């Protein structure tokens, strides 16, 4: 199975999700959509698509014109029921493609925060069977609301943390893909005026303690998504056989 990883920044890649794809025997292509107008292969060749984070925001289309192309691409993939999972910015872009509100939070959510699954998660093929509560790594200034008809899967006192749209698309606000190396890089490049009051020493200490189990959780989550994609038979209209999102 061929999987597409859409990234928006060199410092926000697939992380442990890439390991999960490889361990299930699949091929992963990375596409930095902010730098290349076309994916490595025609979109219709991919059985699943992962969409990751980045330092930009969904409402910055004037600054990042390629966001408009990605918006159209995600709407087409959703219509064709291609298995999708969006992480952080990727989840927000999925929510926007589904006409849900995405906006700036009163304050950033950065660090380790507990998440609780919803009752709807029990029957979900990806979230069903996961722990009812778990610590999660977060790094976001924006959050999404629930699209019409979607199933809420997880949340906390700050915001909705995950939802499923139809039977093929998942959006998550937290970062199950993040590795220790990536986390360190984010800390080095953090902008205090944007991130707010952040106890770096505490965050590093918590991360050292939690990152191992968190990476195992991230792999498990991705494996579950890939298992859905392996059994999926997405509806592929002729219009999806273009090589670029803007076509």
| Active site residues per annotation | 88, 175, 177
Contact 11, 185 (CB under 8 A): yes
Is the four-CA dihedral 227, 126, 221, 92 of positive or negative sign?
Answer: positive
- Rounded CA-CA distance 66/102 in Å is 18
Buried b (16+ CB within 10 A) or exposed e, 138-150: bbbbbbbebbeeb
Q: Give the separation between CA 111 and CA 134, rounded to whole angstroms.
A: 13
- CA separation for the pair 246, 72 (Å, rounded): 7
Query: Cα separations (Å) of 130 from 116, 218, 228, 233?
Result: 10, 11, 15, 25
């Amino acid at each position: 199975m061929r999987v597409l990883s859409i990234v928006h920044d060199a410092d926000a890649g697939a992380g442990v999700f890439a390991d999960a794809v490889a361990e299930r025997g699949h091929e992963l292509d990375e596409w930095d959509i902010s730098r290349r107008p076309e994916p490595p292969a025609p979109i219709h060749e991919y059985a699943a698509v992962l969409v990751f984070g980045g330092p930009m925001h969904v409402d910055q289309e004037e600054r990042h014109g390629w966001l408009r192309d990605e918006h159209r691409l995600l709407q087409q993939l959703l219509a064709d029921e291609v298995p999708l999972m969006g992480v952080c910015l990727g989840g927000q872009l999925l929510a926007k493609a589904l006409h849900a509100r995405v906006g700036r939070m009163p304050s950033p959510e950065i660090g380790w925060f507990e998440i609780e699954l919803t009752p709807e998660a029990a029957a979900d093929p990806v979230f069903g069977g996961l722990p009812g509560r778990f610590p999660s790594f977060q790094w976001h200034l924006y959050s999404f609301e629930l699209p019409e008809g979607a199933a809420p899967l997880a949340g906390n006192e700050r915001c909705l943390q995950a939802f499923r749209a139809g039977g093929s698309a998942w959006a998550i606000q937290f970062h199950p893909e993040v590795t220790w190396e990536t986390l360190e890089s984010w800390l080095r490049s953090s902008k205090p005026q944007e991130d707010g009051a952040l106890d770096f020493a505490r965050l590093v200490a918590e991360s050292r303690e939690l990152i191992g189990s968190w990476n195992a959780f991230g792999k498990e989550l991705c494996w579950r998504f890939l298992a859905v994609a392996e059994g999926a038979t997405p509806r592929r209209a002729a219009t999806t056989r273009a090589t670029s999102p803007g076509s």
